[in-house]
Every structure is written in structure tokens, then in C-alpha cells.
Amino acid sequence: MTGLLTRPRAVAAALGFLLLALVAAVAPGLFAGDPLAADPLHVLEPPSAAHWFGTDQLGRDVLDRVVHGARHSLAIAVAATLLGVTFGVLLGLLAGLTHKYADEALSRSFDALSAFPLLLLALLFIAIAGPGTVSLVVAIGIATLPHYARVVRAQTFVVRQAGYVTQAVAFGDRRLTLVRRHVLPNVLGPVPVLAVIGLGEAILAAAGLSFLGMGPQPPSPEWGAMLSESRGYLSIAWWTAVLPGLVVTLTVISLTVAGRHFQRRFEGRLG
Amino acid sequence: MIVLRRLATGLVVLWAAATAAYLALLAAPGNTVDSIIGDGADTPQIRGEIISEWGLDRPAVVQYLTYLWRAAHGDLGRSYLLQRPVRDVLGDQLAPTLQLALAAAVLGITLALVLAITTRRPWSRRVSSTVELVLVSTPPFLIGIVLLSVFSFRLGLFPVAGDRGLGALVLPAVTLALPIAGVLTQVLRDGIDRALEEPFVVTARARGLPERAVLVRHALRHALLPAVTLLGWLTGILLGGVVIVETVFGRPGLGQVTLQAVTSEDMPVVLAVVVFSAFAYVVVNTLADLAYLVVDPRLRRS
């Protein structure tokens, strides 16, 4: 706790993100208006008291769309990160526990996967599976998996040498029990920290891919898709692009700052 | 010996990428013949011709080996959509993309070097770190959109779209370079910080070397080592980044070809892009490993 109190920036970042997550969770039903309600009389109006973020080309309130979009974008990023973490941990554990050849094969697959830029890998997947929200989640999940798998594999190597594991083996614990009770809890250490930073990267990747038209399709208020639509009106209505973009950036910044803080604390505790 | 092993690993990664890409092609839903016909005439005779022309009636293993053999010779098949060799389709678009990627790489690296060296004082360092954080946390297309609306639409300094002339290259290259500079500056600064604690820096200072010379000649050189490992990462960022930047600025190039191929399920082109990016990654990483041996004599002994 003392670490958190001396670090106001990290606290602010973490609170900022939690606030956004809260807004994304409750605001759409409570006080944000309909993100699809078009108003032909108030098209492309600059920010005002009635419309804080202005209106877009169909007269829809940009702030309402950003708030609803937060729900879409965060859900996609969280789902993709969970997918990447789950399979990354399982495969990393498998590689760390198996012997030479299986480990070698798995590790080389992680290498091969991470040889591709995230965006291209996701595009390859989408070319096969077709665009859409589910494809987006799976594509980002697969692309981020090797990162977690590698860390967990390295961690497993350390843990399997530990005294409590050799003792459990000597005790005659069954393999599965051994892994579940002794190995898994101890290799998970760095994963939550990585996942916080990874969540920010997943938000960026999802926004980028749906900007390219690979994710939720318009008129769905997803951040990347919104920004893609706003591109055509840039010369006359900067707010339709810049203000939602600012929200995306602030979200990722808050995750990165909080994540780095946790990382430093985690490493400090180890060192 | 190390060089040979590096080259062998590179070949294995390439083979794995080509094979994975081929498996992806097999896994793709839909009939290959349907994809090739597209909106064209569809008779049993035409279908038969397509099957024999593309060798689709042969066993999968034979098709796979033919594919590998051709890929090794630089023949990546034919585009379903454009009915042209994939190599020509990519070759036509390589120049504008290479131009953009190289310009962005040079700009990003230069910016990072200058920033890492000049922002050593606490105040400038804080400002620079904040800017870096913002740059790496902003979606690249948003950087492009902001630059476009300020410099093209407000000030009219640069063209809005296209690839004519050097002026059209400026904004796309800056868009691609800024996030790169953000990450590289952080890595270089950390490296310099660590190097400044080493004994050789104390020695250099004791010899009466001016601080700038200590920084550039000793600390920076040390900090470059971890940065060299990032060259592979840099290639990836550039290859992925061009897709977005070319879309934002309406530039022709590999990114646009990739995007078009993905949306129209033109799998040979998608696969070729994947294999090409693996190739670029392997080449750059092998070069980086070799550069490592040149820069750091300690590694040659092990």
C-alpha cells in the first residue's frame, strides 16, 4: 500500500481506467443517450453544452457513441486478452513441463508466431475466418498468446526445480495434482501485470483492425469503426475524429502507466 | 559456426511460416474453384480447366511440395482476384511501401537518438517521457488523422492523399515514425542510464572527457546493444504500420494490396504477404545477430 501512496500518477491512472470501465458498464443504460439516434437537423455541429463532443455526419451525439463504444471496445480487448492469457499460460506450462522435443516444438511455434507483426497475423486470421467481432477477439488473442506463453515457460523452468516441487514428487503426488497445486499458482506471478499492459495493446490492436473495417461494422459504435467513419469529414469536423481518439489514447495511457507501476513493484519485490 | 547456425534457424523459421501459411490456405472455408471463378462464367468445362490448370486434382502432399518448391524459387502463385502472378502484384507495389518504411525508420531512429541524448536534464526528460508515453499509447491512425487535419486541412502544407512527390511522403513517414521513436527513445534512455553507472564511465570522466563525449562515445554505444535486438521488432511495426498509414493517407503500396486481398479472400496474395513478412523478419534478425557480433566482441568468444 505504501508503494501506491507514494505514486500518485499510478493511482490516478488506475482510478481513471476503473472509472472508464464503470462508465462503460453502467452509463449506456442510465444516462447516455441512444448512440444510433440520428438527428438530420443537427449534423456535424461543433462541441456545445448540449453535445459535449459535437455531433457526427448523421447528427448522432459523439459523446454518446464514445460511451457506448467503450463497452464494445473494452469487451473486445478484455475477451482477447483473457483468451491470449489462458492459452498462453496453458501452452507455456506445457512447454515448461514437457521434455526436450515437445518443448522445442512448442517454443519454436511461439517464435514463429511472434515473427509476424500482430496486425498482419490478425489480418491473416481474418482473411480465413471473415471480419467481425468474434474474429477480432480470436485474432488478437492468438497474436498475443506467445508473449504470455514464453514468460510462463521460463517461469515453469524455475519452479520445477524448486524444493517444494521435488518434495511433492517425493511425496508421491499425482502429476496433475502436482501441477495444479504447486506449479500453476507459482508460475502465474508475472502474468497479471503483463495482462494489464497487454490490455492496452489489445485496445490499440482492436481499434486499428476495426479502423481497417475488420471488426464490428457500422453503425455499431466501436471506437476504431467510429474513427474510420469520421475520416471522410476531417476537413470540416475535426471533433468527430479527435475527441473519440483522445478517449482511446487516455484509456491506453492509464493502463500503461498503471501496468508499468505494478511491473516495477513486482520486479522490486523479486530483486 | 555461429553464422551458419543463425542462417539455418532463419531457414527453419521461413519453412515454418510457408507451411503455416499453406495450412491456413487449406483451412480457409469455401471452395478454391469458386474463389478463382469469382463472378466469371461458371460451366463444368471451365471448372475442369481450372482444376487441371491449378493442379487441384493432385494429392495434397504433392500440392504442398510443389508450393514449397515454387516458393523457394520466388514463385508465390497467382492472384485469384487479379489473375496475375502474385510476385508481379507485390512487385508493383513494393517501391512506394519501401520508400515509406525506410523514410519512417530513418526518421524514427534519428529522432530517438537525438531525444535520448539531448533530454538528460530532469525537466526536459520529464517532458520527453510524457510525450513518448502519449505516442506509444495513441493508435497510429489517430496520429495520422491529427497530422492530416492540422497540416493538410488547416495549414494546407501537404497534399491530403496520394504518393506524388516528396511532399506526399512527409506526413505518412512522420505518422509511422513517431510511435517508433517513442519506444526506441525509452529503450535508449534506459540503456544510457544503466551505462552511466558502469566503471568505464567513471574512468572516462576521470580522464577529463566532457560530459557530451562521455554520453555519445561511451554510454550511447553501450545502450545501442539492446536497441539492435529491437530491429526485428522494428521490421514488424513497419510492415504492420504501412497497412494503416497507407489507408489513412490513401497511398498505394503493399498495405493496400494486403487489405484488398484480405477483404476479397484472395488467399494467394495474403499468403505471399505473410511469407514475405516472415522473410523480411528473418533477414533483418539474422543481420541484427551478425551486427551484434561485430559490435560486441565478447559474444564472438562464446
Chain B 271-300, residues with CB within 8 Å of chain A CB atoms: 273-274, 277-278, 281-282
Q: Is the pLDDT of residue A1 over 50?
A: no
- Whether residue A204 lies within 8 A of chain B, CB to CB, comes out as yes
Among partner residues A111, A241, A253, which is closest to B145 by beta-carbon distance?
A: A241
**Least reliable range by pLDDT among A65-79, B54-68, B196-210, B226-240:** B54-68
Give the number of other CB atoms < 10 A from CB of residue B68.
14
Chain B residues with CB under 8 Å of A252 CB are 137-138
Chain A 90-129, residues with CB within 8 Å of chain B CB atoms: 108-109, 111-112, 115-120, 123-124, 126-128
- Whether residue A249 lies within 8 A of chain B, CB to CB, comes out as yes
Q: Enumerate residues 6+ apart whose C-beta is below 8 A from B183.
A: B132, B136, B230
Q: Residue A69 carries which side chain, given as an amino acid letter?
A: G
pLDDT band with cut points at 50, 70 and 90 for residue A104: confident
Mean pLDDT of B282-298: 79
Interface contacts (A, B; CB < 8 Å): 130
- Whether residue A196 lies within 8 A of chain B, CB to CB, comes out as no
**Least reliable range by pLDDT among B92-96, B200-204, B291-295:** B291-295
CA distance A116 to chain B (A): 6
pLDDT band with cut points at 50, 70 and 90 for residue B38: low
Q: How open is the CA angle A110-A114-A119, to the nearest 5 degrees?
A: 140
Chain A residues with CB under 8 Å of B237 CB are 117
Chain B 157-186, residues with CB within 8 Å of chain A CB atoms: 160
Selected residue of A118, A142, A231, A247 to mutate for chain B interface (largest B Cβ count, 10 A): A231
- As to burial, measured by CB atoms within 10 angstroms (0-12 exposed, 13-18 middle, 19+ buried), residue B54 is middle
CA distance A12 to chain B (A): 15
Among partner residues B139, B244, B277, which is closest to A245 by beta-carbon distance?
A: B139
Chain B 8-37, residues with CB within 8 Å of chain A CB atoms: 12-13, 16-17, 20-21, 24, 27-29
Q: Is the pLDDT of residue A75 over 90?
A: yes
Mean pLDDT of B47-74: 78
Q: Is the pLDDT of residue A218 over 90?
A: no
Chain A residues with CB under 8 Å of B244 CB are 119, 208, 211-212
Q: Is the pLDDT of residue B89 over 50?
A: yes
SS3 assignment, position B229: helix
Q: Is the pLDDT of residue B20 over 80?
A: no
pLDDT band with cut points at 50, 70 and 90 for residue B184: very high
| Residue of chain A minimizing CA distance to B261 | A127
| Residue of chain B minimizing CA distance to A212 | B244
Give the count of alpha carbons within 13 A of A56, CB side only. 26
Position A2 scores a pLDDT of 47
| Residue of chain A minimizing CA distance to B265 | A127
DSSP lists the bridge partners of residue A55 as: A61
Asked if B144 and B171 touch (Cβ cutoff 8 Å), the reply is yes
Distance of CA A195 to the CA centre of its chain: 8
Mean pLDDT of A179-207: 89
pLDDT band with cut points at 50, 70 and 90 for residue B101: very high
Position A271 scores a pLDDT of 35
Among partner residues A117, A123, A257, which is closest to B262 by beta-carbon distance?
A: A123
- Cα–Cα distance for residue pair A171/B241, rounded to 1 Å: 54
Mean pLDDT of A228-252: 87
Among partner residues B16, B134, B237, which is closest to A249 by beta-carbon distance?
A: B134
Residues A113-169: tens digit of each pLDDT:
777 788 888 888 888 888 889 999 999 999 899 999 999 998 898 888 888 888 888
Selected residue of B9, B138, B237 to mutate for chain A interface (largest A Cβ count, 10 A): B138
Chain B residues with CB under 8 Å of A116 CB are 17, 236, 274, 277-278, 281
User: Across the interface, do B142 and A131 touch by the CB < 8 Å criterion?
Assistant: no
Buried b (16+ CB within 10 A) or exposed e, A129-162: bbbebebbbbbbbbbbbbbbbbbbbebbeebbee
Take residue B111 and report the three cell numbers written for it.
529522432
Chain A 131-190, residues with CB within 8 Å of chain B CB atoms: 131
Among partner residues B139, B149, B262, which is closest to A126 by beta-carbon distance?
A: B262
Q: Is the pLDDT of residue A4 over 70?
A: no
Q: Is the pLDDT of residue B1 over 70?
A: no
Position A241 scores a pLDDT of 87
User: What's this model's pTM, rounded to 2 decimal places?
Assistant: 0.86
What mean pLDDT, rounded, does chain A reach?
A: 85
**Least reliable range by pLDDT among A193-202, B52-61, B206-215:** B52-61
User: Across the interface, do A120 and B262 touch by the CB < 8 Å criterion?
Assistant: no
pLDDT band with cut points at 50, 70 and 90 for residue B29: low
Concatenated DSSP letters for chain A? -HHHHT-HHHHHHHHHHHHHHHHHHHHHHHTS--TT---TTS-SPPP-SSSTT-B-TTS-BHHHHHHHHHHHHHHHHHHHHHHHHHHHHHHHHHHHHS-HHHHHHHHHHHHHHHTS-HHHHHHHHHHHH-SSHHHHHHHHHHHHHHHHHHHHHHHHHHHHTSHHHHHHHHHT--HHHHIIIIIHHHH-TTHHHHHHHHHHHHHHHHHHHHHTT-SSPTTS--HHHHHHHHGGGTTT-THHHHHHHHHHHHHHHHHHHHHHHHHHHHHHHH-
Asked if A87 and A97 touch (Cβ cutoff 8 Å), the reply is no
Percent of chain A clearing pLDDT 70 (strictly above):
95
- Cα–Cα distance for residue pair B302/B285, rounded to 1 Å: 19
Residues A15-38: tens digit of each pLDDT:
888 888 888 888 777 666 778 777
What mean pLDDT, rounded, does chain B reach?
A: 84
Q: Is the pLDDT of residue B167 over 90?
A: no
